């Protein structure tokens, strides 16, 4: 099966006079199941429709948008695999110099707020043509949302773009029904009963029985109202008990239908076995191809969804918390297919998904009753109803290893270590270490402070320590030299400068020197972004400390890499501000050595004190044992308070 038509010449070769549907994407055209628009376009094609692809159109005129002509039924629009603003800007709002989803890695091939720009150009070109939007950018901006780059609350992307219908979530069920009903002659404005979609109506036409969010106006004027809206959106994001949600958008009412059910195993198998070309379009060859395909070309997705539900992650609001899985047979067929591809060298880079080691629902209760509102399956401690089972995943990995031409099978997508250590059977962990780690295993403790981890929705650091000890013990027993590479995040809501100091001390105690540290990035739609904007916990409305200045963010990030010479001055400033100058000195208990500027400051303080002037806090910076012990006692006391608080909250719940 060839690539979809991208030009009039392609259409003529196939005898197509007018396409049924045309897809617009902000990515270069890569026909691989790790690219959302590739899945959607192939699903539509499998229904018997003709589909065209316009990738990264020039938005400065309507010419590119008209290159395939007018579709018979509708345009399907997405910004690509990620939000266009995230694609363009770093967490410090600096312009990125490259783009992994563009041929040659070139930046600037899509506009900011791509979905809005593309839809407006389509309206300019074709007027009242049916337009449906989807993908991550549309999905996570479906309600009034805080936009980090504008530092303001923006309306639903549906309102701003002028599109007719929004598909949120993964989209296969939605696009199937939309395309089928449009082909039967229904008007796109009448498609108001499709689960997993959102649309705008006049307030007088608002459906009855919906859950109402505070309006766009209320969210802009009152941060507590914004936090309440965020909680409502998450609380009803469940396929079992989820309801229609409404939110006033100025003169219109946004209506979001209940979530679409996750795909069954049979449906997911069918989606991943559609005839993908599994590479980028040949037109990009002269530019060296599309970098984004390299990591996934020989990877296999075996599941969707994540009940881990971290507050800074968008998966819960997009894919959902319910786990969907492919059958073992389907995964094995794909593994065998990979061995026939021309660039295959014997290595399958990943058999994973959002979380690699989830192959079932977290408990049996949710199948009938849905996932618990406002609660997490793994944090701060595993739920008593949690069912842990790696047997099916392990058996599948064993069979993939036995396929001829397969030399090695790696697991590079996230492993939930907090789930893994709850498994009473060590068989999976032993085989993971022995067969599926390429020298380094990436895990995500993110922080060590209990207060910060609670805001992240992550388990406390004791779970990581337990896993780490077990990992290295097993690694030594097997006789391998392998390491854990922890993902760490600085400046998350709730993280004070003292929390960053605590994390630096934790890293030092474990002799860990992270090469990369991620600054918290307030992306659309997450609970953590809600905290960043409102400075409130959306579930309690309690105040949350949020580091927002570039100065403090820089200090927190520098502390996590205190060992780098270029961070010395910033770390000293951070420790002075945190009143932890006991950690500046030349002894083993200190984080950084004093520099010339610090010594001058200390001498000046001593001079003022000797002359009777007002000296600063008497801190010689020598890292004395007495100060170190005081700091240690302080940290232990704080940790005890957090544990007591978590225990009390658990009893109340």
Per-position DSSP letters for 189-227, written without gaps between them = GG----TTEEEEE-GGGPPTTPEEPPPHHHHHH-HHHHH
Cβ neighbours of residue 620 closer than 8 Å, sequence gap 6 or more:
602
CA pair distance 16, 547, nearest whole angstrom: 56
Model confidence pLDDT, tens digit, residues 282-295: 999 999 999 999 98
**In the predicted structure, residue 619 carries a pLDDT above the cut 50:** no
Q: What is the pLDDT of residue 438?
A: 87
* pLDDT at residue 644 tops 70: no
pLDDT in tens, 553-583: 999 999 999 999 999 999 999 999 999 999 9
362: three-class secondary structure by DSSP: coil
pLDDT above 90 for 313: yes
426-483 pLDDT tens trace: 999 999 999 999 899 989 999 999 999 999 999 999 999 999 999 999 999 999 999 9
What's the CA gap between 136 and 653, in Å, rounded? 33
**pLDDT tens figures, 110-147:** 999 999 999 999 999 999 999 999 999 999 999 999 99
Q: What contacts 474, CB < 8 A, 6 or more positions away?
A: 426, 429, 430, 433
User: Which structural domains are found in the chain, ordered by start?
Assistant: 8-206 (3.40.50.280), 298-438 (3.30.750.210), 441-653 (3.30.750.200)
Exposed, middle or buried, 292 (CB in 10 Å: 0-12/13-18/19+)? buried
Q: Provide the strand spans (E) within 17-70.
A: 21-25, 30-31, 51-55
Instruction: For residue 45, give Cα distances in angstroms to 50, 304, 592.
Output: 6, 22, 61
Supply the mean pLDDT for the chain. 93
Q: Which residue has the higher pLDDT, 340 or 621?
A: 340
What's the length of the chain? 653
């Amino acid at each position: 099966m060839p690539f979809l038509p991208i030009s009039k010449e392609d259409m003529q070769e196939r005898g197509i006079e007018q396409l049924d549907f045309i897809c617009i994407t902000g990515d270069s055209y890569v026909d691989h199941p790790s690219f959302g628009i590739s899945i959607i376009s192939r699903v539509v094609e499998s229904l018997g429709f003709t589909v065209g692809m316009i990738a990264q159109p020039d938005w400065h005129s309507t010419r590119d948008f008209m290159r395939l002509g007018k579709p018979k039924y509708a345009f399907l629009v997405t910004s690509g695999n990620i939000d266009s603003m995230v694609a363009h800007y770093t967490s410090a709002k600096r312009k990125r110099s490259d783009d992994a989803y563009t041929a040659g890695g070139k930046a600037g091939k899509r506009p900011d707020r791509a979905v809005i720009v593309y839809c407006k150009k389509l309206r300019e070109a074709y007027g009242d043509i049916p337009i449906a939007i989807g993908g991550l950018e549309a999905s996570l901006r479906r309600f009034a949302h805080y936009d980090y780059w504008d530092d303001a609350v923006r309306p639903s992307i549906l309102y701003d773009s002028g599109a007719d219908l929004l598909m949120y979530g993964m989209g296969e069920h939605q696009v199937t029904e939309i395309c089928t009903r449009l082909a039967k002659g229904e008007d796109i404005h009448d498609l108001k009963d499709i689960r997993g979609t959102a649309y705008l109506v006049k307030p007088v036409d608002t459906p009855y029985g919906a859950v109402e969010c505070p309006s766009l106006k209320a969210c802009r004027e009152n941060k507590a109202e914004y936090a309440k809206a965020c909680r409502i959106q998450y609380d009803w994001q469940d396929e079992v008990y989820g309801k229609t949600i409404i939110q006033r958008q100025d003169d219109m009412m946004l209506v979001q239908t209940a979530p679409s059910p996750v795909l069954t195993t049979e449906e997911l198998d069918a989606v991943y076995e559609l005839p993908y070309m599994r590479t980028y379009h040949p037109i990009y060859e002269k530019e060296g191809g599309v970098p984004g395909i390299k990591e996934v070309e020989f990877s296999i997705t075996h599941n969707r969804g994540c009940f881990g539900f971290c507050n800074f992650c968008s998966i819960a609001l997009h894919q959902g918390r319910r786990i969907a899985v492919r059958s073992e047979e389907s995964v094995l067929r794909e593994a065998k297919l990979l061995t026939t591809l021309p660039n295959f060298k014997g290595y399958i880079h990943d058999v994973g998904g959002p979380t690699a080691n989830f192959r079932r629902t977290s408990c049996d209760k949710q199948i009938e009753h849905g996932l618990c509102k406002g609660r997490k399956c793994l944090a701060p401690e595993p739920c008593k109803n949690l069912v842990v089972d790696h047997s099916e995943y392990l058996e599948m990995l064993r069979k993939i290893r036995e396929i001829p031409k397969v030399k090695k099978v790696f697991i590079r997508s996230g492993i939930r270590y907090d789930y893994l250590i709850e498994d009473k059977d060590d068989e999976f962990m032993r085989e993971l270490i022995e067969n599926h780690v390429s020298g380094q295993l990436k895990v995500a403790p993110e922080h060590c402070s209990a207060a910060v981890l609670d805001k992240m929705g992550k388990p406390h650091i004791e779970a990581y320590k337990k896993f780490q000890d077990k990992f290295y013990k097993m690694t030594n027993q097997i006789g391998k030299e392998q390491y854990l590479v922890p993902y760490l995040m600085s400046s998350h809501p709730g993280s004070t400068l003292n929390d960053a100091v605590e994390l630096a001390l934790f890293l030092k105690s474990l002799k860990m020197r992270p090469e990369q540290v991620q600054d918290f990035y307030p992306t659309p739609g997450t609970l953590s972004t809600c905290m960043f904007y409102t400075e409130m916990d959306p579930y309690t409305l309690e105040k949350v400390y949020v580091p927002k200045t570039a100065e403090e963010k820089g200090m927190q990030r520098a502390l996590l890499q205190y060992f780098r010479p270029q961070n010395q001055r910033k770390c000293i400033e951070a420790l002075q501000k945190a009143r932890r100058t006991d950690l500046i000195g030349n002894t083993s208990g200190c984080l950084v050595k004093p520099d010339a500027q610090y010594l001058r400051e200390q001498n000046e303080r001593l001079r003022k004190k000797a002359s009777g002037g007002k000296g600063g806090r008497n801190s010689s910076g020598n890292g004395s044992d007495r100060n170190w012990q005081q700091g240690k006692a302080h940290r232990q006391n704080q940790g005890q308070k957090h544990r007591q608080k978590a225990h009390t909250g658990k009893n109340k719940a």
